[in-house]
Amino acid sequence: MSTSNHFDICVMGLGYIGLPTASIFATKGKKVLGVDVVQRVVDTINQGKIHIEEPDLDILVRAAVQSGNLSAATAPAPAGTFIIAVPTPFEKQKDGSLKPDLSYIESAVKAIASVVKKGDLIILESTSPVGTTELIRDWLVEATKGRVEANDLLYAHCPERILPGQMLKELVTNDRIAGGLTPEAAQKAKELYETFCSAEIFLSDARTAEMAKLTENSFRDVNIAFANELSLICDSLGIDVWELIRLANRHPRVNILQPGPGVGGHCIAVDPWFIVAACPDRARLIRTAREVNDSKPDYVINQVLERAERFRKPVIACLGLAFKANVDDLRESPALHIVEELARKFKGNLLVCEPHIKELPKSLQGKVTLEAADVAISKADIVVLLVDHRPFKNLSKRVLEQRVVIDTRGCWSN
């Protein structure tokens, strides 16, 4: 650690990416300050506890805090490296188009402006539109009012490639890209991540690194859209889409993904729009895939409401709110959107089971009842499986007898 810095690393944002990253650096001997604007989050981490659900993250954070290498605060302090890991959502424009919202990144940049100094390394981990790393450089020069010139700092984009539920393993074992505004910045970033990353770290420029992460998630989104479109076609033609995909995938060069109620999470449902926003006339396939996947929740909602018309006083049980199986992450979750819309449109009794949360999100409080799966199913006329959590997959089909079942994940398909 440099004697001129109190911290080796300052991580801006202590969410699903920032907290694991800060903690793993700390357990490898780096002096780390984690910064978050939410005081509750800061207090929780300083107690050696966590505010998000991720296997073994509590053990890592506890060890990092107890070692004295990790602490949290609401404001940054001088450090040799600043890692920005804040949200990058999109906002809807008046014309219906979607534009990346970089306000969280800009706020983080302005926050560190008073403590950066010549020679510091600035790393953007947040998934961002192409050119964002350059914007960070320009914002910092402006925010420091000339105290720091454009070439005084090193800038790099190092996107994460980790999956909720397997974050700690994949932080270490997944390949990474270190894309710098200069070769020196890329090399410095690579050397830093070699502290804990056992996989290969590829050097590139910042724009290529930014586009690589967007490309990875857009590729997945397009392939999911193919599966979701197939499910719509099969419904119209009276074909079991799950059986169809199983049979088609017997071809040695075919690997169709599984359809679902939509696409969620902080990456796949968002990142393709960054490419569309940058090149709207060129990104036609990527846009269409997004539109297919974004329309799937409404299709499921209409299916549920249509089935409900068969009953005089129907009770609906929705299983799952998270964006994917076996996590508590509700960000951009199609399951949550479906339940929110059902709560708005359906006037009967709506029950919800989500085993990974202790209380309903604010958007559902007072509108639906949170129940255990067996209780919800026992009361329901219609059971809607939205997330393939393990407890749901292991349910006996006997408990579903005499009920209308809408299985959006193929969990109970023969």
**Phi and psi for 124 in degrees, rounded to 5?**
-100, 120
Alpha helices in 157-256 (DSSP H): 167-173, 183-193, 206-237, 241-248
| Strands 176-180 and 201-205, sheet pairing | parallel
What separation, in Å, do the N-terminal and C-terminal C-alpha atoms of the chain show? Answer: 58
Catalytic residue among 31, 213, 296, 324: 213
Cα angle for residues 308, 311, 314 (degrees, 5° grid): 65
Catalytic residue among 10, 158, 197, 267: 267
Rounded distance between C-alpha atoms, residue 158 and residue 244, angstroms: 40
Structure tokens that stand for 19 in this block? 């907290």
> Residue 304 belongs to what H/E stretch?
helix 284-308
Letter for the amino acid at 77?
A: A
Of 89, 99, 151, give the one whose Cα is nearest residue 126.
89
**Phi and psi for 306 in degrees, rounded to 5?**
-65, -45
Structure tokens that stand for 182 in this block? 């200069």
Structure tokens that stand for 125 in this block? 């981990």
Find the Cα–Cα–Cα–Cα dihedral 173, 162, 361, 359, rounded to 10°.
-10
Q: At what angle do helices 284-308 and 271-278 cross, to 10 degrees?
A: 130
Eight-state DSSP code of residue 201: E
What is the DSSP code string of 46-105?
HTT--SS--TTHHHHHHHHHHTTSEEEESS---EEEEEE-----EEE-TTS-EEE--HHH
CA-atom Rg of the chain in angstroms: 23
Whether 267 sits among the annotated catalytic residues: the reply is yes
Whether 213 sits among the annotated catalytic residues: the reply is yes
Rounded distance between C-alpha atoms, residue 105 and residue 13, angstroms: 10
* Residues 322/387, Cβ–Cβ less than 8 Å: yes
Environment class of 398 (CB within 10 Å of its CB; exposed 0-12, middle 13-18, buried 19+): exposed
* Residues 350/371, Cβ–Cβ less than 8 Å: no
Rounded distance between C-alpha atoms, residue 178 and residue 340, angstroms: 40
By annotation, the residues acting in catalysis are 213, 267
